[in-house]
Every structure is written in structure tokens, then in C-alpha cells.
């Protein structure tokens, strides 16, 4: 198919899924304009209740971004300067920035080749007397393996604070991922599965008291936690964002079903060894990104580009090679994170992607992998 006549296939479509919501958003926007309640207020409170319920949590606190949510969760858990937080190097910068901003040190352990999530087997060796929390990241919408992570945390008296910016709707062992760990953080950045029309975030809390503390911190109230005085700051969520997110939330199931259908189409073209494999019952990935691995990743990317298809390369290099690495420590070998950085490619996925386009993209990938006899397998380490 000629991309000149069909147009390119973009990685995201932020506009088409919004169209069915437009009239409702515009009507509610007008009503917000007339009330003058632009920040926090009723829309934020309702969104907090709806998201907390969807995540199986006692409460949730809306904040200005996913980055603010990470910072607030770390503060409320009492993470302080000099502490260590064990996390994945295969994540977006914000995970590490929040730990560094609070004065603590990220300690990186490797990821699993099957789901690119933090490897529970690598965590315990990285625990030291300074470790205060474990921060798994449910990367690309796939659930991190929470049961062993929570068991390690319990053995060592640590908090589990999960970055679920990419994983609204994701299930672990049949329950929402947000129902695991002490707190989990969400981003409503417009590319996320549950998006706003600007920045926004939320901390979902197993204990409602944690959400109450975040409501203070987000609005300039100083709070003493674990003997340490934390300054408040402006981390408030706008009423307009909350309203737009609520409208999208009402359609989340239908939009997610379309993403799931696209992922199933891709699965039918991509060999199992080259893509996400979920282990265990009741696991559900929400495919914030659909990824596959290929040794000639850049060759496959160029081939898809020739067919008019945009693709994504993520966390290459992973965060232990970024500018903030000086604040971080490696808690073991990071071979799989390095390999993911080199080999992983993401395909377009969103609620408005036509299924025939997904089939066309899948066929290009299948043919490329077959032609180049790509041996990338989850069990086969690269040289």
C-alpha cells in the first residue's frame, strides 16, 4: 500500500477518540466557565472517587502530573535524603527524577525479558540498610510481578510505591494493579490510555489517610511525616482536566477493547518469542505500547518507515546511562535492560487505529522477521 495515497500511520491519534466526547466536554466546559471553579473542586473529587474505585483503592488524590504524583507518593511514604529506592532502569525519566528530587538514590535492578518489568529475583540482592522503598513500573501497560515484590518488601519493612503512569486498567492476578502496594501513581498525559487534554496525575492509595496528606501537600500545606517537615507545593489538578478525564473514563472500556483488538492482531503476526509474554492467571496488559524485539531493530524501523508507519524506540539507552546516573547505583547487572534498549520497537496502537492497518503493519513485521531470520528470542541473550 502506498503511503503517498493513504497517509502515514502515526503512533498515536489524540484527536479521533476524542470526537465522540467533544459535545459533552464542550457543554461541561461552558458550565465550569460559569461557575468559576477552575481548580480542584467537585470535578476533581468525583474523578478521585471514580479512579480509586476502578483501581480497587480506598482513596485517590489528584495532582498536576504523573511526575508530581511520584514525588508526592515518595514524600508521604517518608522517603528522605540519603535513602535508596529500588527501581527499574527501563522506564521514563520521571520515575528517577522524582527519587532524585526528594534527595534519595535510585538503585537499578534488571528487568525480565518476557515483560520488561523489574525482575523480583534481582531485587533482594540490592537491598541495603538504606533501602526505604521498591518502585516497580508497570511498563507499557504490563503488570509487574507484584506478589514477590510485596513479599520482599514485607520481609525488609519497605514500602511498595508503583509507577502505574502507563497502566490504568491493567490487572495483576485478577485485581487492578493499583490495589497492590501502598500507593500507585497515574499520569493523564494526553498519550496515556486514560488521557486528559493537558497535564494531570493522581496517587491512588490503599490507605485513605495517605490521600488526605497528599491533598495538603498539593496545596501548599507543610506536613510533618516521620519526624521530617515536608513543604507543601503547587501540585493541584485543574477542574477542566478532571472533567475531560471523567468523560474519557466513561468510555474507557470501549476504547480499551479497540486497543486490545489491535494487540491481538499484532500478536497473530509476531512470533511469541519476540513480544510480551504474561505469566500467571488473571494478568491483563492494557498495551499503552505494543512492543516487539528484533536484533535488527533499526532495520525493521526503516522498513516500517518505508511503508509509511511510524514506530517508537524507548529507553535507549536505559536510565543508568542518563545524565542523572551520578545520583544512582546499579544493584546488579542490567543486561536485559540494555538489550531492551537496543532491540525493542513499538508499533502504532490507539483506540482509533483501523484493524486493516494493524493487519498491514503486522504483515510487514512478519515478513521482515522471516526474511532476516531474526533469532530474537526471550531466552537468547544478545552478544
Query: At closest approach, how far in Å is the CB of 41 from ligand PLP?
Result: 21
Q: How far is the CB of 116 from ligand PLP (least distance, A)?
A: 12
Q: Closest Cα to residue 181, out of 70, 329, 339?
A: 70
Cell numbers representing residue 323 in the block:
545524565
Report whether 95 contacts 117 (CB < 8 A).
no
Query: What is residue 87's three-state secondary structure?
Result: strand
CB of 363 to ligand PLP, least distance (A): 29
The smaller minimum CB distance to ligand PLP, of residues 11 and 156, is found at: 11
Nearer to ligand PLP, 71 or 266 (CB): 71
Beta strands (DSSP E) in the chain are 59-63, 84-87, 105-108, 131-135, 159-163, 171-172, 175-176, 183-187, 201-205, 223-225, 228-230, 290-293, 329-330, 344-347
Tell me whether residue 171 or residue 365 sits nearer to ligand PLP (CB atom): 171
**Cell digits of residue 174:** 485478577
In angstroms, the CA 194 to CA 197 distance is 10
N-term to C-term CA, the chain: 36
Smallest distance, Å, CB 289 to ligand PLP? 10
| Minimum distance from residue 187 beta carbon to ligand PLP (Å) | 3
Pick the closer one to ligand PLP by CB: 135 or 283: 135
Task: State which residue, 170 or 303, has the beta carbon closest to ligand PLP.
Answer: 170
Alpha-carbon span 377 to 295, nearest angstrom: 9
Q: Smaller CB distance to ligand PLP: residue 79 or 300?
A: 79
**Smallest gap, in angstroms, from Cβ of residue 294 to ligand PLP?**
22
Q: Which is nearer to ligand PLP, 142 or 239 (CB)?
A: 142
Q: How far is the CB of 54 from ligand PLP (least distance, A)?
A: 18
Distance set, CA 315 to CA 23, 130, 225, 252, 341 (Å): 38, 27, 34, 27, 5
In sequence order, the β-bridge partners of residue 176 are 171
Which alpha helices (DSSP H) does 218-314 contain, by range? 239-250, 252-269, 297-306
- Minimal CB distance residue for ligand PLP: 66
Minimum CB separation of residue 190 from ligand PLP in Å reads: 10
Calpha distance 335→116 (Å, rounded): 12
For the CB of residue 62, give the shortest distance to ligand PLP in the complex, in Å: 12
CA gap 337, 318 in Å, rounded: 7
Q: Which is nearer to ligand PLP, 328 or 369 (CB)?
A: 328
Q: Footprint of ligand PLP on this chain (CB under 6 A)?
A: 65-67, 91-92, 94-95, 137, 163, 165-166, 187, 189, 199, 201
Pick 142 or 294: Cβ nearer ligand PLP: 142
The contacts of residue 15 (CB under 8 Å, 6+ apart) are none
What's the grid cell of residue 211?
490521600
Q: Is 329 left (phi over 0), alpha (psi -120 to 50) or beta?
A: beta
Q: Smallest distance, Å, CB 70 to ligand PLP?
A: 6
Instruction: Give the count of beta carbons closer than 10 Å to the beta carbon of residue 10.
Output: 13
Residue located via cell numbers 497528599: 214
Q: Which is nearer to ligand PLP, 168 or 269 (CB)?
A: 168
Amino acid at each position: 500500500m502506498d503511503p503517498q495515497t493513504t497517509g502515514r500511520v502515526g503512533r498515536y491519534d489524540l484527536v479521533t477518540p476524542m470526537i465522540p466526547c467533544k459535545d459533552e466536554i464542550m457543554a461541561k466546559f461552558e458550565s465550569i466557565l460559569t461557575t468559576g471553579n477552575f481548580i480542584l473542586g467537585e470535578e476533581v473529587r468525583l474523578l478521585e472517587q471514580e479512579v480509586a474505585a476502578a483501581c480497587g483503592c480506598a482513596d485517590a488524590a489528584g495532582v498536576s502530573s504523573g511526575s508530581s504524583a511520584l514525588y508526592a507518593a515518595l514524600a508521604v511514604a517518608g522517603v528522605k535524603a540519603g535513602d535508596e529506592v529500588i527501581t527499574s532502569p527501563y522506564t521514563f525519566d520521571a520515575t528517577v527524577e522524582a527519587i532524585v528530587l526528594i534527595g534519595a538514590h535510585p538503585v537499578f535492578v534488571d528487568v525480565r525479558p518476557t515483560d520488561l518489568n523489574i525482575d523480583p529475583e534481582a531485587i533482594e540482592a540490592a537491598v541495603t540498610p538504606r533501602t526505604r522503598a521498591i518502585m516497580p513500573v508497570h511498563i507499557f501497560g504490563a503488570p509487574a510481578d507484584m506478589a514477590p515484590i510485596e513479599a520482599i518488601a514485607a520481609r525488609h519493612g519497605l514500602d511498595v510505591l508503583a509507577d502505574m503512569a502507563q497502566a490504568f486498567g491493567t490487572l495483576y492476578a485478577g485485581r487492578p494493579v493499583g490495589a497492590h502496594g501502598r500507593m500507585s501513581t497515574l499520569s493523564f498525559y494526553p498519550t496515556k490510555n486514560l488521557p486528559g487534554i493537558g497535564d494531570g496525575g493522581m496517587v491512588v492509595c490503599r490507605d485513605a489517610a495517605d490521600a488526605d496528606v497528599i491533598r495538603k501537600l498539593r496545596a501548599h500545606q507543610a506536613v510533618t511525616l516521620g519526624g521530617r517537615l515536608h513543604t507543601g507545593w503547587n501540585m493541584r489538578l485543574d477542574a477542566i482536566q478532571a472533567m475531560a478525564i471523567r468523560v474519557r473514563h466513561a468510555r474507557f472500556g470501549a476504547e480499551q477493547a479497540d486497543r486490545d483488538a489491535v494487540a491481538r492482531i499484532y500478536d497473530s503476526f509476531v512470533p511469541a518469542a519476540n513480544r510480551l509474554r504474561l505469566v500467571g492467571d488473571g494478568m491483563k496488559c492494557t498495551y499503552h505500547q505494543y512492543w516487539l524485539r528484533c536484533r535488527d531493530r533499526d532495520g525493521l524501523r526503516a522498513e516500517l518507515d518505508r511503508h509509511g508507519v511510524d514506530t517508537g524506540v524507548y529507553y535507549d539507552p536505559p536510565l543508568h546511562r542518563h545524565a542523572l546516573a551520578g545520583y544512582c547505583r546499579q544493584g546488579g547487572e542490567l543486561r536485559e535492560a540494555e538489550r531492551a534498549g537496543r532491540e525493542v520497537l513499538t508499533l502504532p496502537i490507539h483506540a482509533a487505529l483501523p484493524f486493516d492497518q494493524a493487519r498491514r503493519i503486522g504483515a510487514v513485521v512478519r515478513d521482515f522477521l522471516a526474511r532476516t531470520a531474526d533469532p530474537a528470542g526471550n531466552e537468547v541473550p544478545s552478544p
